[in-house]
Amino acid sequence: MIKKIKVSAPGKIILSGEHAVVYGYPEILSAIDRRIFIETEETGLGLDVQPVEGKLIVEQAIEIFKAKLGVSRLKNLKIKISSQIPIGSGMGSSAAFAVAISAAFFEFLKLPKNLKKINEIAYEIEKKQHGTPSGGDNTISTYGGFLLYRKETENIKTFLSLKTKVFSSIFLINSGKPKENTGEMIKSVRDFLSRSPQKVEKFFREIEQVTRNFLRFFSGEELDFGSLITRNERLLEQLGVVSPKTKILIQKIEKEGGFAKISGAGGTKENSGIVLAYHRDPNVLLKLAKVEQWDMFKVKLGERGV
């Protein structure tokens, strides 16, 4: 009997530190209860990937496994992909895919489940997609929970699992897929840094301070979670990664006593991807989303990894 291998990996949100992480500053990420699922079986009929849009990434993953581990058994496979994570929204769909396919191949090859190696290969797959990713997205998808992540250099990446309280009323609003991709948004900030190095470095240092205040909040200090979200959002706006349309959405939440920020690379032309929203009374957000007809859904943070 042909054995089917089933693997899943979570998407993510960034609580603090996006864009600054590219320049060696820390970020805090959380795995969420939206996942990508991969089902793999051996067929003897070549490589069949459904949906076919995932085939290129699967082929790249196979090449990386050959190069890194010297394996050549990944030829005759049927791979079925399904996802709860919107593509291009800042929720780490490509990283979750990279982690899930890496873990599926480890299981198919009967290799011991080694999270460090699964993560390393997922990072190589991500590099094929994005050039110079921070590595944070694949790391949170591999290990799950909450992570403090920092990319010191290409070869030195550090992360720390964070123990924290459960957040029961975090919502995500899909503001729409940005017209820009992640690489274009990173270049936009890099260009701003070239033009105004002192100003942008100051923003990065202030973002790092917000990240460290989140750490203090996680460790039990009486800090206001909502205010940290708002401060982070203002700094991202000053970096120029939030569109006017998304700013209006966030202002509507703030007017009702809530807090919101983009999560991810953002976008300036029209949409900015996913927006994290929080209110001490979740019903206020639910009513507002209904009136505004937002695509809003509740998520659990700190979910398990691959």
pLDDT-derived band at 219, boundaries 50, 70, 90:
confident
Provide the pLDDT for residue 129: 81
Q: Dig out the tokens for 40 from the structure.
A: 């793999």
pLDDT-derived band at 2, boundaries 50, 70, 90:
low
Please check the confidence at residue 301 and state whether its pLDDT lies above 70.
Answer: yes
Q: How far apart are CA 219 and CA 214, in angstroms?
A: 9
Whether the full predicted model's pTM is greater than 0.85, yes or no, is yes
Instruction: Note if 137 is an active site residue.
Output: yes
Question: What is 170-298's CATH superfamily?
Answer: GHMP kinase, C-terminal domain (3.30.70.890)
**Mean pLDDT throughout 45-65?**
90
Q: How far apart are CA 65 and CA 104, in angstroms?
A: 12
**Closest C-alpha to 178, from 128, 239, 236, 246:** 246
Contact 288, 256 (CB under 8 A): yes
Share of the chain above pLDDT 70, in %: 98
Instruction: Give the residue range(s) of CATH 3.30.230.10 domains in the chain.
Output: 5-162
Q: Does domain 5-162 have CATH number 3.30.230.10?
A: yes
Q: Kindly tell me the sign of the dihedral angle through the C-alpha atoms of 299, 107, 134, 153.
A: positive
Q: How far apart are CA 159 and CA 119, in angstroms?
A: 12
Instruction: Give the residue range(s) of CATH 3.30.70.890 domains in the chain.
Output: 170-298
**Mean pLDDT throughout 88-112?**
92
Q: How far apart are CA 45 and CA 68, in angstroms?
A: 25
Angle at 186 between CA 181 and CA 192, to 5 degrees: 130
Q: Distances from the Cα of 299 to the Cαs of 171, 192, 257, 287, in angstroms?
A: 6, 33, 20, 17
- Give the DSSP letter of residue 129: H
- Give the DSSP letter of residue 240: T
Q: How far apart are CA 49 and CA 78, in angstroms?
A: 6
Provide the pLDDT for residue 76: 86
Provide the H-helix boundaries in 75-196.
93-108, 115-130, 136-143, 182-195
pLDDT-derived band at 151, boundaries 50, 70, 90:
confident
pLDDT-derived band at 166, boundaries 50, 70, 90:
low
Pairing of strands 170-174, 274-278: antiparallel
Report helix angle 182-195 to 197-218, nearest 10: 120
Pick the catalytic residue from 33, 48, 137, 295: 137
* 2 Cα distance to chain centroid: 34
At 210, give phi and psi (nearest 5°): -60, -45
Provide the pLDDT for residue 74: 86
**Closest C-alpha to 267, from 235, 232, 237:** 237
Please check the confidence at residue 1 and state whether its pLDDT lies above 60.
Answer: no
Provide the pLDDT for residue 204: 98
